Chains A and B, each alone.
Chain A
């Protein structure tokens, strides 16, 4: 019987069994950031411990950074301080820990700045067949490369810093198979929202999701990252795709990809870690890509999603008592009427960015359609590139100008309005069409703010119309040329 990538990677990284039966798992790469990790360094100090493998640890600053700054904010080798004193304190705490322990810092304001789940992959740090951890739930993103990537809490950050290992329970592996071609205007974001909507937000508990099928095989690395990013929203702590030629091509030549002499051996290893054709799984769920439409959340969990042409549900459409109660709660919080179409719901803010959809291909795809359109009066529209390198590349292509001309703010990289830890926040009960990943109550920085999750192209369409609308109509999207179609 064949084995899944999950099992192969897990076994290879197993240090041993702990007395309680959990596995002590070696972590090949550890990302740390300023919100969840400074406390872990303090814990090390309390215990008199050091960092076991600083060379396998990479620090980023992304959650609190202001995004209204000039892109590169440095004076020689020194970063200019933020005017936000708290953000500055958190950043400085991480910087000093990185310095003290010899940890590589992808410094704020530098050319390698950005959201951890965007910069890590673009530098080639994230690779197939690795185990990886970060004190951030969207660490699942890195599974797009065929790594097993865990979001962890601060105490576990301490464990990994001190020992380069984690105490972990082996996960069940559930295969999510998506076959067929996506229609025009339908993206990886729609696929994952559709999957979560279908399976529920807690179906992935105790599981890793392996994304597979012909649709997944044809997705780019950036699209696969969007898919794996939101595995956690389906309750799966880990999501991954098997590494293939697309993966290897993406990695080749990146700054931290294997050196030339090591490349062939690396590819052999990566291939060997992919799931075997006859691997067994703890469950399989199948989806038909052709049946996935542009999808929008209407409620307060990522599972409360519907196709853009559907109606907002009534509470009694929930399958369980719990579902019905969350529908009721969501309708009230979102101030939406059951039975009403989601299309036409007014928005006051449009946000394109985050580790879900703040990558170059996302911005490019929107820019393809945006020229000649204007953001509706009264809508605040922001683009926050996921990293400095995304921003640079987009600017080199003139994409920033397309956004600015259409009435978007073009800001410097960071997490920004994905969670509102800097000044980029909703005000009052504003409704935001957002390309991020969470529509929780209060998520975007206002305790009554409302979030509608959707693809970046759908966000752009909402910004233009001032309301949720089908991007395929706004942008007159033609079917993608598909050689198989008759």
Chain B
């Protein structure tokens, strides 16, 4: 079941300054108290947004100038910390379809990929230029071209990188790998067969 190919994401930007923005900040743990992902959009950056309000400023996600933005512009090590997929989903529910930043937490980037959201790594200076560009001119269109590994921001173009396998998965519409994983039933069985440790266990003890 091939999915849609993600070759290009185009939209306005949402400039989110800051480094080491962890997944606790993206979705504070108290909003993980649920068995579904349904309510997450509302809680994205909830504490950071409240903090901004209390200073009389607006968090980029509340700033009408950036409303409807599809490309989230971030700094270094975005999405570090916990594995909660809630973080990537909360951002997706706010309409974000691609991220551009200096670097990303590994697990976050994997979670975003599994949702079909490219995380594009750019040189620090380039990221700054794009971010400032959007702050000054929020209508700037940003295009993340996964095929050519280029970002166009207004008139300028920048290179970005992402792991080759991730790029291919996005282009091939295989970013959710479940179909490919299921397709190799026999090979999975063969791998299990050569792992002796699967058979060392004592008989299954009573489950409490």
Residues of A at the B interface (CB closer than 8 Å) are: 12-16, 18-22, 24, 26, 28, 35-36, 38-39, 42, 47, 49, 52-53, 55-56, 63-64, 77, 86-87, 89-90, 93, 104-107, 110-112, 127, 129-130, 135-137, 139, 151-156, 158-159, 162-167, 169, 201-202, 205-206, 232, 235, 237, 255-256, 258-259, 262, 265-266, 269, 300-301, 303, 320-323, 325-326, 329, 419-421, 438, 440-443, 445, 447
Contact call B24/A15, Cβ cutoff below 8 A: no
Contact call B197/A129, Cβ cutoff below 8 A: yes
The CA of A167 and the CA of B183, in the complex, are separated in Å by: 13
Given contacts A127-B197, A266-B197, A441-B25, contact A15 B168 (CB under 8 A): no
- What would be 6 A-B contacts, judged by CB atoms less than 8 Å apart? A19-B174, A19-B180, A26-B191, A169-B166, A303-B20, A441-B25
Contact call A22/B20, Cβ cutoff below 8 A: no
The CA of A382 and the CA of B106, in the complex, are separated in Å by: 33
Contact call A420/B35, Cβ cutoff below 8 A: no
Residue B88 at the chain A interface, CB threshold 8 Å? yes
The CA of A112 and the CA of B206, in the complex, are separated in Å by: 12
Given contacts A104-B207, A259-B201, contact A16 B29 (CB under 8 A): no
Residue B188 at the chain A interface, CB threshold 8 Å? yes
Given contacts A19-B172, A258-B200, A262-B200, contact A322 B177 (CB under 8 A): no
Kindly supply a per-residue 1/0 record for chain B positions 187-206, scoring 1 wherever the CB is within 8 Å of any chain A CB and 0 otherwise: 11011101111111110110
**Which of B76, B110, B124, B194 contacts A202, CB < 8 Å?**
B76
- Nearest residue (CB) in B for A125 is B201
- Nearest residue (CB) in A for B33 is A86
Given contacts A20-B174, A235-B106, 16 further A-B contacts (CB under 8 A): A12-B194, A15-B184, A19-B174, A19-B180, A24-B188, A28-B195, A55-B204, A106-B208, A162-B178, A165-B184, A202-B20, A255-B202, A420-B30, A421-B30, A442-B28, A445-B30
- Chain A neighbourhood of B169, CB < 8 A: 20, 22, 167
- Chain A neighbourhood of B34, CB < 8 A: 86, 90
Contact call B19/A163, Cβ cutoff below 8 A: no
- Nearest residue (CB) in A for B78 is A202
- Chain A neighbourhood of B110, CB < 8 A: 152-153, 156
Given contacts A39-B36, A258-B201, A441-B24, contact A265 B196 (CB under 8 A): yes
How close is A64's CB to chain B, nearest CB, in angstroms?
Answer: 6
The CA of A300 and the CA of B190, in the complex, are separated in Å by: 46
How close is B24's CB to chain A, nearest CB, in angstroms?
Answer: 4
Contact call A136/B83, Cβ cutoff below 8 A: yes
How close is A469's CB to chain B, nearest CB, in angstroms?
Answer: 28
How close is A230's CB to chain B, nearest CB, in angstroms?
Answer: 12
- Chain A neighbourhood of B174, CB < 8 A: 18-20
The CA of A205 and the CA of B79, in the complex, are separated in Å by: 12
Q: Which 9 pairs from chain A and chain B are nearest by CB?
A: A153-B85, A153-B111, A258-B200, A167-B177, A20-B168, A447-B47, A21-B165, A202-B77, A20-B169
Kindly name the residue among B19, B77, B83, B199 whose own CB sees the greatest number of chain A CB atoms within 10 A: B83
Contact call B198/A56, Cβ cutoff below 8 A: yes
The CA of A256 and the CA of B197, in the complex, are separated in Å by: 11
Q: How many interface contacts (CB-CB < 8 Å) are there between A and B?
A: 240
- Give the interface residue-count category, chain B: 35 or more
- Nearest residue (CB) in A for B114 is A155
Contact call B20/A169, Cβ cutoff below 8 A: no
Contact call A104/B33, Cβ cutoff below 8 A: no
- Chain A neighbourhood of B30, CB < 8 A: 420-421, 445
Contact call B197/A130, Cβ cutoff below 8 A: yes
Residue B22 at the chain A interface, CB threshold 8 Å? yes
**Which of B47, B77, B88, B124 contacts A441, CB < 8 Å?**
B47
Residue B136 at the chain A interface, CB threshold 8 Å? no
- Nearest residue (CB) in A for B82 is A137
The CA of A373 and the CA of B17, in the complex, are separated in Å by: 46
- Nearest residue (CB) in A for B17 is A325
Residue B18 at the chain A interface, CB threshold 8 Å? yes
How close is B56's CB to chain A, nearest CB, in angstroms?
Answer: 16
- Chain B neighbourhood of A154, CB < 8 A: 37, 85-86, 111
Contact call A162/B181, Cβ cutoff below 8 A: yes
The CA of A104 and the CA of B50, in the complex, are separated in Å by: 42
Residue B107 at the chain A interface, CB threshold 8 Å? yes
**Which of B20, B86, B164 contacts A326, CB < 8 Å?**
B20
Kindly supply a per-residue 1/0 record for chain B positions 2-30, scoring 1 wherever the CB is within 8 Å of any chain A CB and 0 otherwise: 00000000000000001110101100111
The CA of A13 and the CA of B188, in the complex, are separated in Å by: 9
- Chain B neighbourhood of A35, CB < 8 A: 32, 84
- Nearest residue (CB) in A for B102 is A322
- Chain A neighbourhood of B33, CB < 8 A: 64, 86-87, 90, 421
